[in-house]
Amino acid sequence: MPNSFQIVVCSSLVPDPLQTLEPVAGPALKNEMMLPAVLDPWAACSLYEAAALAAAHPGSKVYLVAMAPKAKLQQVMMTVAQKVPFELVALDGPLGGFTDAQSTAAALAEAIAAIPALDRSKLLLFGGWESASRGAGVTLQTAGELLGITEQFQGVDQLTVRDDGQLEVLERVEGGRHQVSLCQGAPAVFGWATGNLAEPRNSPQMGMANMRGITPALMKAKPVKLDANGLSYVSAAVPKQTRETRLVRDMPAEEIAREIVAWMAE
Amino acid sequence: MSDAQFAVEGQTIERQTMEVDIACVGFGPAMGGFLTTLTREMAAHPDDPALQSRVMPGMPLQVLCYERADDLAAGVSGVVTAAKAIRQSFPELVSSAVPMLAPVKNEKVLYLLDPLGASKRSVALKAGDLLLRGAARDHAYELPFTPEFLNKHDGLVLSIGQFNQWVANEVMMTGMAQLWPGSPVSEALIEGDAVKGVRLADQGVLRDGAPDAGYMPGMDVHAALTVVGDGPVGPVGQSLDRHFGMPFGNQTREWALGMKMVVELPEDTPLTEGTVWHTFGFPEPEIFGFLYVHPERLASVGIFVPSWLKNPQRTAYRTLQHYIQHPYLWRYLKNAQMRSWSAKSLAESGTHGEPYLCGNGYARIGEGSGSTNMLTGSGVDEAWATGMQLAEATLELLREGREFTQENLQATYVARRRLSSVEQGVQQAKNARNGFQTGVVTGLIGMGLAGLTNGKLAVGGNIPRADQQIAPLEQSFSAAQLEKARAAVQQGALLQDALMDATGWPPIEYDGRILVSHQDALLMGGKVQAAPGFADHVLFRDPALCEPCRERTCIAMCSGQAITEGDGRVPAFDREKCVHCGACLWNCAHSTDGKHTNVDFRAGAGGFHSAEN
């Protein structure tokens, strides 16, 4: 079938972005298992882009390779499953932040290589360019290299499949501009920035359909123990926040802006 | 075009339908009890033909549960519970399994005196305060014993959010039920005298519910049995009450708003996990409070603001801030850090507010079914028990090949419930709080009498509707206080704050840790959020009733400051700030029909994103 793809999206789970995070020795996040979790928002954007691409190219399929403790994965999948169609490949591994990128990438690559009937000539590897809990920005790139995929793009905001099968890619570059690249086709790696698609609405029927594959995938989730590769962490901290909230009524936007500027200048 | 079709921008959109065996609404402790019991049995007997799906032959029963909150862990209420029914389901339940769980180790009841002289106290109460002052420490008098009816010995301190999350995982691990968060249910599907399932809320709509871009009509989920556990302000429960009415004489007239925060206690705190304090007397005599200590220096501290606090400008948030600063509590809390914050309405009518527990095709469980024990102040374990009872009844009916008719559910579920300790408890508690309508002292005497005589004796009392419990401003405040407050409002103050200032409550000195602005509590504590594309779920039925309203209680009592003064006299509603506590439903001084207040509380999305509550 012309221009059909096998799109593999890689993602971890991160604490819901509204949570207050507190790094602790380990390094880890304090009480991370207690916090509500979501699919990493960067990777979630790539999942929605993958689903849209697959829908536009009949015969395509989306896999979501997700790593987290099985119980957390199960909980988060109840939300993600309602968004877009995908087949889950579950890895029962550690949760969230500060995990070594090299060993994470190795686990992902191994799981991807083991997907039955995966056709490398149709393989597009998707994921987040960044992560909401880890800023290394190299996990996807490394996973691609381990899979032997040399065509790699980072900070992707748009992917268009041309009539001749070539892939046109918009990558973010410095100065708020995009770089346009052409790629002959699959296999290729795309680390997505935000993309252009809104989060899909929850569809109960979509959830039911996805669930038929998710439950078995969770049951056979492979335990993954990541090797720190001798890394040691000196310190970890979250950005310091200052919050000053005030309720105002009927204040013009210009005045609010002036006040904020004055406050920032202090 | 049929009822199930909608034309949007020239396109016809069909309302989707789905067939399941059992549709459940609301994932709280009651549904936890139901699904735990049901799915365990299904998993233990996978080949039992009675437990096979009628709608998907060859598959197990299709059991789906829809929850409005964005996450199954977004439960509200840090609780202390006797946990008898919960332990029946989980005999080996230990602290290490569920974060924030601790066995109750020490418990006490404190009467808090008013060190500020700002609360409204009757002459009798002031005389009592004088007598107790000598025996008090840090303006608190510790009762020499905890009355048996309040005692939670052998019980548990819990975070409902963490407990729900754990239970949800246990249920889903069986593979026998699906729990769908972020899925508000708007109403029950009723045909004649039978419930045929539920309808999910429309998505892709404007604030008024009109179709917008990406319109997706809420799906109809058809089921042989609909299990309703959506709490005291749930839209499905409300739709059933509207259609079927209430049993003669029953109505939920008494309410309370529970508001609390989870705090991290200072490193040198002497408070140990399992500590449980019940308080009363401050900030107002009618307000009960609590402090429960979880593991790892976490504590839940909060208050209950009841409907019988007749003050029309009652405001839970400011009141909570004064509560935690009471000298007895503040010495433990002053260096604490807020981690989470939440609020929810509690149906305080107990069995007086019991609806029809079942009908053709449906059954109701949990707090919305009147299971809360108003004497012991206990609802979680009772809710769990009602869920277990319905699951046992459901299994019995399935195995006997009987339909989910009202008669059959009555003979199995309701019969079990009537014979249970839950029923015994709510009957003993039935009139325990009636006395509070007359006054605090009478209320306490009534509770004591009911507690000591197992409900045989209680103080009588006529309980008015919730809207009639709100007194006019002039009855609650002097002319001078009102004048002072009005002047402050003109300077931009909120009326409820201005009135508390005018009555002698000191301003709150924010410390950025535990004393923060209400807006900061939404972001730092509640982490409140709402997905786009849903209609407003708070509506004012008759705007003409809001025009002359001077009490403005819906604004004062809104836990998320989501209801504010609008451009005209009709309040404005910002659904992105709504925490779904449901306080607006009963904090309105006006009624359109003698049954309901002027506030319509419907199905909506979003709310807390905090799991520590």
The answer to whether residue B88 is domain-embedded is no
Residues from chain A that touch B167, judged by Cβ atoms under 8 A, are none
Contact at CB, B178 and A203, closer than 8 angstroms = no
Q: Does position A221 have pLDDT exceeding 80, yes or no?
A: yes
| Percent of chain B residues past pLDDT 90, beyond the cut | 85
User: B134 and B50, same structural domain?
Assistant: no
Any chain A CB within 8 A of the CB of B106?
no
Asked if A31's CB is within 8 angstroms of B99's CB, the reply is yes
Averaged pLDDT, B453-477: 91
Query: Considering only A59-68, A79-88, A95-104, B429-438, which range has the smallest mean pLDDT?
Result: A95-104
Task: Tell if the CB–CB gap between B169 and A18 is shorter than 8 Å.
Answer: no
Q: pLDDT: is B525 or B268 the higher one? A: B268
The answer to whether B67 faces chain A, any CB pair under 8 Å, is: no
- Average pLDDT for B291-312: 95
Alpha-carbon dihedral angle through residues B47, B50, B53, B54, given to the nearest 10 degrees: 140
Whether B610 is in a domain gets the answer: no
B406, B271: one domain: no
B397 and B491 both lie in a single domain:
no
B484 in contact with chain A, both atoms CB, cutoff 8 A: no
User: Do the domain assignments include residue B237?
Assistant: yes
Q: Å from A9 to nearest chain B CA? A: 23
Q: Within this chain, do residues B339 and B312 fall inside the same structural domain, yes or no?
A: yes
Q: How many CA atoms lie within 13 A of A128 on its CB side?
A: 21
Averaged pLDDT for residues B16-43: 97
Domain shared by B597 and B537, yes or no: yes
Q: Identify all chain A residues contacting B169, using CB atoms and an 8 Å cutoff.
A: 71, 74-75
If you average pLDDT over residues B125-144, what whole number do you get? 95
User: What is the structure's pLDDT at A247?
Assistant: 66
Q: Does residue B300 sit in the same domain as residue B422?
A: no
Chain B positions touching A249 (Cβ under 8 A) are 492, 565
The answer to whether residue B468 is domain-embedded is: no
> Are the C-beta atoms of B466 and B347 separated by less than 8 Å?
no
- From chain B, pick out residues whose CB is under 8 angstroms from the CB of A208: 18, 64, 178
The whole-number pLDDT of residue B458 equals: 86
A78 to B178: CB separation less than 8 angstroms, yes or no: yes
Would B280 be classed as within a structural domain?
yes
Q: Directed axis angle between helix B316-324 and helix B495-502, to 10°?
A: 40
Instruction: List chain A residues with CB under 8 Å of B73.
Output: 36, 75
Q: Which residues in chain A touch residue B66, judged by CB atoms under 8 angstroms apart?
A: 204
Confidence of residue B66 (pLDDT cuts 50, 70, 90): very high
pLDDT (0 to 100) of residue A242: 67
Contact at CB, B183 and A208, closer than 8 angstroms: no
Q: Are A141 and A152 in contact (CB under 8 A)?
A: yes
Q: How confident is the model at residue B333 (pLDDT cuts 50, 70, 90)?
A: very high
Q: Is the pLDDT of residue A249 over 70?
A: no
pLDDT at residue B202 tops 50: yes
Residue type, B232: P
Which runs of E-coded beta strand occur in B61-177?
63-66, 78-81, 102-103, 106-112, 140-142, 156-159
Among A176-185, B8-17, B144-153, the range of highest mean pLDDT: A176-185
Same domain membership, residue B511 and residue B368:
no
Q: Around Cβ A197, how many Cβ atoms within 10 Å?
A: 14
Q: Which domains does chain A have, with CATH numbers?
A: 6-223 (3.40.50.620)
Q: What is the mean pLDDT of residues B341-357?
A: 94
The Cα of A18 is separated from the nearest Cα of chain B by a number of Å equal to: 6
Q: What confidence category does residue A257 fall into, taking pLDDT thresholds of 50, 70 and 90?
A: very high
Residues B228 and B365 in one domain: yes
What average pLDDT does this structure show over B26-44? 98
Q: B199 lies in a domain?
A: yes
Residue B186 to residues B214, B223, B292: CA-CA distances in angstroms?
A: 19, 16, 35
Structural domains of chain B, count:
4
Q: Which of B186-200, B362-376, B457-471 has the lowest mean pLDDT?
A: B457-471
Q: Which of A18, A31, A71 sits opposite B527 (nearest CB)?
A: A18
Count of positions (residues) in chain A: 266
Q: What is the ipTM of this complex?
A: 0.88
Which of B282, B313, B348 is the endpoint of a domain? Answer: B348
- Say yes or no to pLDDT of B453 above 60: yes
In this prediction, residue A1 carries a pLDDT of 45
Here the CATH number for the domain that contains residue B170 is 3.50.50.60
Summarize the confidence of residues B433-456 as an average pLDDT. Answer: 91
**Distance of alpha carbon B534 from alpha carbon B536, whole angstroms:** 7
pLDDT computed for residue A57 by the predictor: 96
Closest C-alpha among B324, B323, B350, B328 to residue B337: B324
Do B246 and B262 belong together in one domain? Answer: no
Query: Residue B456 belongs to what domain range?
Result: 432-463
Of A1-15, A243-257, B176-190, which has the strongest mean pLDDT? B176-190
B-chain residue closest to A36, CA distance: B611
Q: Please indicate, yes or no, whether residues B364 and B244 belong to a single structural domain of this protein.
A: yes
- Model confidence pLDDT, tens digit, residues A50-73: 999 999 999 999 999 999 999 999
pLDDT at B379 over 70: yes
Interface contacts A/B by beta carbons within 8 Å: 103
Mark whether B45 and B167 lie in a shared domain.
yes
pLDDT at res. B290? 97
* Percent of chain A clearing pLDDT 90 (strictly above): 65
pLDDT-based confidence at A99, cuts 50/70/90?
Answer: confident
B86 occurs within a structural domain: no
**What is the crossing angle of helices A70-80 and B160-173, to 10°?**
90
- What are the structure tokens assigned to A126, written together? 């998707």
- Chain A residues in contact with chain B using a Cβ-Cβ cutoff of 8 Å: 16, 18-20, 31, 33-36, 71, 74-75, 78-79, 82, 199, 201-205, 207-208, 211, 215, 219, 243, 245-249
Q: Is the pLDDT of residue A26 over 80?
A: no
Domain termination residue (choose one: B316, B333, B348):
B348
Tell me the pLDDT of chain B averaged across its residues.
94
Domain identity same for B508 and B583: yes
The answer on pLDDT for B2 being more than 60 is no
Per-residue confidence at A243, pLDDT binned at 50, 70, 90?
low
**pLDDT(B216) > 60:** yes
Q: Provide, rounded to the nearest whole percent, the portion of chain B with pLDDT above 70.
A: 98
Cβ-proximal residues to B294 (8 Å cutoff; 6+ apart), any chain:
B78, B100, B101, B102, B157, B159, B262, B273, B300
The CATH number given to whatever domain includes residue B504 is 3.30.70.20
Residue A2 has pLDDT above 60, yes or no: no
The structure's pTM equals 0.94
Q: Is the residue at B442 inside a domain?
A: yes
Helix axes A204-219, A70-80, angle to 10 degrees: 160
pLDDT mean across residues, chain A: 90
Residue B549 has pLDDT above 50, yes or no: yes
- Does residue A232 carry a pLDDT above 80? no
Distance in angstroms (rounded) separating the CA atoms of residues B312 and B597: 14
